[in-house]
Every structure is written in C-alpha cells, then in structure tokens.
Amino acid sequence: MPSEPLEVEVLDRGVLSFRGPLTMENVTPFMNAVRRETAPTMILDFSGVPYLDSSGLGSLVSAFTSCAKAGRRIALTGVNKRVLKVFEITKVEQILLMFPTLSDAIEAFTNAGTA
C-alpha cells in the first residue's frame, strides 16, 4: 500500500514547507529539497507533517548534520505533538532548533543580527 506523498513548497529563500508524512517512501524528495537549498539558515516548516518514521527521522538528522558541518543552520517550525514525541523519545529535540510558528522563526533570524 503506497503512502501519502510528501509535497515540498519553497516559500522563500531558505524556507521550505512540507505537507505529508516524512517516511521511508518520502525521504528522497525531502533530501533533494534540503540539498538544493543553499541559504545559510534553512527553516523547515513541518506544520503539514502529521508523522514521521525512523527513516524520516534519520534523514532529518542527516540534513542537520550536513548543514552543521557546512556552517549552516536548520530550524524547524510547526512541529506537532506526535512528531515532537518522536524527537523527545530519541533525544533529537536536544539538538534541533525549533520554533512554534514560521513567523517566530523568521523573526528570530531576522532580529538575530540586530540584537
């Protein structure tokens, strides 16, 4: 049984919005979208991601690690309770920068240089 597709929308430079589950079947479009983005700070809007599996979690950690090695940052926004629970159980929430909303993340990064 095929899973729901993962839709990727580029909202702005460095801002990607995802709709659909981040699962083994959808890791490739997720990683391709993240690799194409070259902004120093990348904001991943997960408000449309209902759940993820271990492959999705692994791809997210891989993206985070690759960006960190390149001196870039990733922030997540709109993470629901189900996805957050997976992050907490696996202790991944300790390494990820998360904001409640996309506007919170954009404001934080916009004001970071003026503080």
Are 42 and 68 in contact, with CB atoms under 8 Å apart? no
Q: Count of domains in the chain?
A: 1
Domain range for 102: 7-108
**Residue 94, in any domain of the structure:** yes
pLDDT for the residue 64: 95
Domain assignment present for residue 115? The answer is no
Domain membership of residue 90 (yes or no) is: yes
**Has residue 2 been placed in a domain?**
no
Which is nearest to 65 in space by CA: 92, 85, 39?
Answer: 92
User: 0.95 exceeded by the pTM?
Assistant: no
63 contacts 85 by C-beta, under 8 angstroms: no
Q: What is the CATH number of the domain that holds 19?
A: 3.30.750.24
User: For the segment 71-98, what is each residue's pLDDT rounded down to a tens digit?
Assistant: 999 999 999 999 999 999 999 999 999 9
